[in-house]
Structure 1
Amino acid sequence: MKHLFKPIRRPCIKTYLFSLLVLPLCAVQSAEAATISASAVIDWSTFKITAIDIGNGLPTLTWSNQNDNSQVNYGYYYANDSAANWSSGTTATETVSTSSYSKSASSSTSISEIKSNAFIDGVFPYQGLSASSNSQRSGSFTVQGSGLLLFEANYSLTEDVGTSSNSWANSDISFNLSYYNDGHSGSVNHNINRYISNGSAPVAETDVLSVALVFKDGWSGNFSANTSVSVSGYDYGSGGGGSVPLPGAFWLFGSALATAASLRSARTIRMMKSFAKVAG
């Protein structure tokens, strides 16, 4: 039994064993799941239009048309849904799932909210994934009387890229208001945009979105409320999920190094044996 283990003590055998153990370990790196999300919501249940007297009485408005639209984007394609009023609502959704990752995007309008969502989760080595969506509620109106019209509603924005590397999330929300009459026009907008990338703290924000303009009797106006979000990530295969295969040159170099080490060890043994014979 003693003789069976004797070859393992030889330096050349040890070198080969070391190579067989270490090189495969170098070929694989730990996987890390990516979780990236973004959401933008206008709480339509809080939407209101306030008429403010600026010395000419209180103005009123009459809607001439209303429109809703929801859209999601995925590569060169998109899904879209629209409605010619603010009560029926719209919905657009995209979902892609595999054994290792999933991504989704959705947008909607309803009597209670205008919303956009995007989400990526899982591991996708050596791939880039993205998802985006947007929704809009718009309308045209005419004004009777003169005065200031204030449009406002509550909103919320959330974003998170977790500990994922090479990722980002973006959310955007806005109110746009304009007037036009006999060659005169004006506009105002309130836009809020939040962007985070790897290493950034998550976003969780709620506040009030508002716009206001002075209208004169008989003027026409346009109004729109918009939400949009997008998320993206690219996994280079290191620290973002999956194994990292080493190039063939590395294996050739490793084999050559192990062979050189073993030959050197064998040569050293032969030289020592020759020296021992001469000394004896």
Structure 2
Amino acid sequence: MKREASETPRSVAFGFEDDCVTLPIDAILPLRALRKAAKSSRKYRQIVASIAQIGVVEPPVVVRSPDGSATWLLLDGHMRIEALKDAGAREVECLVSTDDEAFTYNRQVSRLAPIQEHKMIRKAIERGVPEEKIALALDLNMSSIRRKIRLLDGICEEAVVILKDKPATGAVFHALRKMKTMRQIETAELLVNANNYSVAYVNAILAGTPQAQLVGAAKPKKVKGVTPEAMARMEQELARLQEGIASIQDTYGQDHLHLTVIKGYLGKLLGNARIVRHLAQNHPEFLDEFQTITEITPAEAAEAE
């Protein structure tokens, strides 16, 4: 479709000004106070270590003071500013927001997943950054850095793709490494479907994995505190669970479509006053169920599935 000659293209509203500005730290007013425990947290120590080694990676976000004074309001970067103050810095380069909405920008950003962190560290090493410097910047010891470097050793590419943006810890990959390729993929899908990446859950899946699907198939599987009989029952239960999940996945789209059509049809029926009176007088139990179906929201429908 051609644009009419009289129409003018809409301009894009930018969230930040074009250039960063270097501001005196004393002129930046935080919009919230840090908790007392913040400076003893691991996150704060990592920020301090990162600034000491490579400087400020992500500039704080500020907005001009509405009263026209020389002060600036700090929208995001409170811990970075505190770390800079503790380090004796007097100035900092900032991003200037065009919106004075006082929300925390980081709440809109996904946290770095372990696989993403692994790839970031590997890429830094490929570019010649020493492991020691990476450890100092992340406030980690060398053994932790090496574990992160080897995170995906023995993990199939399909499982990596499934878990690439998930909060799967090193313990998850340690368990996956004991499984064969197809079982790794199945386990990754189970973790995502359950939205559970805990050590206990992945170890339960490992315990319920048949011996033939483990890397060391010739070596008898042993799980502390679990008898062979209990292990056999866990394997059977896990197999049934996987069959149930597969069945739901196969029919989810069709079931959702049927529910949408039924909901629309019942909505039209209940819009007829004569039908509603008939149901109320002769089949009140049907009327209650029909009304319940028409009031189902998309979120409730997903939960019902």
Q: TM-score band (shorter)?
A: under 0.3
TM-score by length of 2: 0.17
Pick 1 or 2: higher relative contact order, CA cutoff 8 A, min separation 6.
Answer: 1
Greater Rg by CA:
1
Give the helix-richer structure, 1 or 2: 2
TM-score by length of 1: 0.19
